[in-house]
Amino acid sequence: MNKLTATFYKWGWLTSMINSIASYLKTTRFRLAIWYSTVFLLLEITLGTIIHIYLKQTMLMDLDNSLNHQANSLFHYIKESENSLINFAPDSLYSTKEELVYDLIFEVISLNLRNKYIQINYNDETIFKSPNILSTGIVFPKEIKEDKGLFSFTDKSLSDNEIRASFIKKDGFIILVAFPLTLIDKNLQNLTQVYIIILPLFLLLSLIGGVLLSLGSLSRIDKIISKTNEITAKNLNEKIEGEDIDDEYGRLIKTLNQMTERIRSSIDYMNQFTVDVSHELKTPLTVLRGEIEVALRSPKPAQEYKRVLQSNYEEVLQLSNIVDKLFFLSTLDHNLVKLKIEAVDAHELLKPLIKQFSVVAQEKGINLDIEVNNRYILFVDIELMRRAISNLLTNAIKYGNRNSTVTISVGKMSASQIYINVNNKGRTIPEKLYEKIFERFYRSESSRNIEPGGIGLGLSIAKSIVHFHNGKIWVESDHSKGTTFWILLEKKE
C-alpha cells in the first residue's frame, strides 16, 4: 500500500502537468498565441525572401553594369588601334597579336577586377583570351543576333557556377567579358544559412510574443469572468467595471451589465408578481376561512347557512376569475394562443359589446356611444380583440362620472393604420402613471378605495392582446377631454 501511494505521488505531478498543458492547448490564449506566432513567422519568411530576391537582383544588376562598362572600354581601346592590328607584323616588341592586344587593354584589365574571363575575336579569329580560358575558348552563341547585350552560360571547364557575360559584336570584333556568379551565389547561400540559423530564434520570440500578447489581451476576460461569477440573485445590482471603454471588451461588459439589469428587473417583477398574487388570493381566502369558522362554531338556522354558502360562492368565483386571467396572461406570454385572424367590419366588432355593457352603463346613468363615420375593415382575432376592448369599457364605466357618456370611436390614424379609442369623463390619470397602469395587479390607492372589485389585470390583458396583434396601446388623460385609451392597428391582412 505504501509503495502504491509513493508511486501515485511520484507520477501524480506529471499527470497534473499533462492535464494542465492539455487544458491550455484548448484555450483561446493558445490559439491566439499560435496565430500571432504563425503570422510573425510568415512575415519574417516573407521579409527574408524579399531581401534575398532584392540582393540577388541588385548584385546581378551591378555585375551587368560593370561587365557592360568594361566591354565598351575594351572595344574603344581596340577600335582605336584597329590599323595596328590589321597591319601587324612581329617585331622585337610584340611577337604575336595577342601580346599587342594585351598591351592595348592592360589599363582596362588592371583597373577592373570583374574581368575573370576576357576573349576578343576579330574576323572569326581569336586575337586575345584570358590565360584562364582553355584553348577551346568561349563559344559565342550563334542564335544571338544583337550587336551588344548580356547572356548567361554554363561551362564546367571554367566554373561550377553559372557565368554571366557581356558582349559587343561590331565592325568584325566580338568582345566577350565574363564573370562567374560564384560570389553572388556564395553570398546568397551565406544569407540563407543565417536565416536558417536565426529562424528558430524568430520562432521562439514569436511564441513568447504571442503568449504575452494573449495574456495581456485576454486578462480582462478573466476579470470579467471572475466578476460575473461573483454576481448572484442576491447582488444583481452590482456592475462589471469597464463598460465606458470604447472597445470590444467595453461593449461586452456593457452587454453583460444590460443583461444583468434585465435579469434583475425580471426577478423584481416576479417577486412583485408573487406578492401581488398572494395579496389578491389572500383576501377571498381569508373571507372564506372566516365565514366557515363562524358557521362551524355553533348551530345556525338554514337561512344563515344559505347566506354563508352564497358568500363563499362569490369568493370562489373571485378566485376562479383571478386564476383564469392569470392563466390567459400566461398563454399570451408564452405564445400559446393561436390568432384566428378574420376580416371584420369595425361596427360589427363593437355592436355586441355595446349590447353587453348597456345594462351596466344604465345602472350608473352612463350613455354608451359609437362613432364610426366610415366602413373600416379590421383584420383581427375577433374574440380576443373584443376581450381587450371589453376590458377598456369596463374601466371606462367603472371610473366614469355618473350621467356622463362613454364614447367608442374608430377612425384612420394614417393611410395604413386604424385606431379604436374609448373615452370617458371621470377621474383623470396622472401622467406619471401612464405606463404603470398597464402593469399586472397595478391599482392606484384611489381605485382600491372607491372600486374594490377589480384585481388590476384588465389593462394588462388588453395590452398583451394588442401587442399580440403587433399593435400599440396607450392612454391620454386631462380634465378637459377626459381619459382616452387608444388602440392602434395596422390596416392589412
Whether the predicted pLDDT of 111 surpasses 60 = no
Same domain, 404 and 309: no
Rounded distance, CA 58 to CA 185, Å? 13
**Domain count along the chain:** 3
315 with 344, same domain: the answer is no
HEC states along 293-349?
HHHHHCCCCHHHHHHHHHHHHHHHHHHHHHHHHHHHHHHHHCCCCCCCEEEEEHHHH
- CATH number at 350 reads 3.30.565.10
Does the pLDDT of residue 183 top 50, yes or no? yes
Length in residues, the chain:
493
Taking only the tens place, the pLDDT of each residue in 66-82 is 889 888 888 887 777 76
Domain-embedded: residue 375: yes
- Model confidence at 302, pLDDT cuts 50, 70, 90, reads confident
Q: What does the angle CA 76 – CA 82 – CA 86 come to, to the nearest 5 degrees?
A: 160
Residue 12 lies in a domain: no
Domain enclosing residue 167, as ranges? 23-228
Q: CA-to-CA distance for 262 and 28, rounded, in angstroms?
A: 29
pTM: 0.52
Residue-wise pLDDT for 392-431, tens only, equals: 999 999 989 988 999 999 999 888 899 999 999 988 899 9
What is the residue-averaged pLDDT of the chain?
Answer: 81
Picking from 281, 316, 331, the residue at the C-terminal end of a domain is: 331
